[in-house]
Amino acid sequence: MLKITPDPPESDNLSERINATPRKPRRTFMIAPGIDTESLLAHACESLSSASIMASDFAAHLEGTQRSTMLGIAQVIMLGELAVNQALDNLDPQD
């Protein structure tokens, strides 16, 4: 009988990973430190809105399962946009 899952590694080099030098993140693309949360959320909302429109437009050129997949991706983007909008509303409720 074939075994579906592989054997675990013989040694878990966890102690080596813990004692390793911390990784320094690259600064190729970086958000400027100190930007307030509301501005970050507003930019995220605009980016998600643009991505949603692009995904929907792209889905219009597809057929079958590819179209369904792209529309699913568009829906996930839209849900992210709704969450960011709610976070903005929570920061600055418009009564």
Torsion of CA 61, 66, 71, 75, to 10 degrees: -140
Tokens representing residue 8 in the block: 């675990």
Q: What is the pLDDT of residues 61-87, one digit of tens each?
A: 999 999 999 999 999 999 999 999 999
- The model carries a pTM of 0.64
Q: What is the pLDDT of residue 23?
A: 74
Taking the C-alpha atoms of residue 79 and residue 24, their distance in angstroms, rounded to an integer, is 32
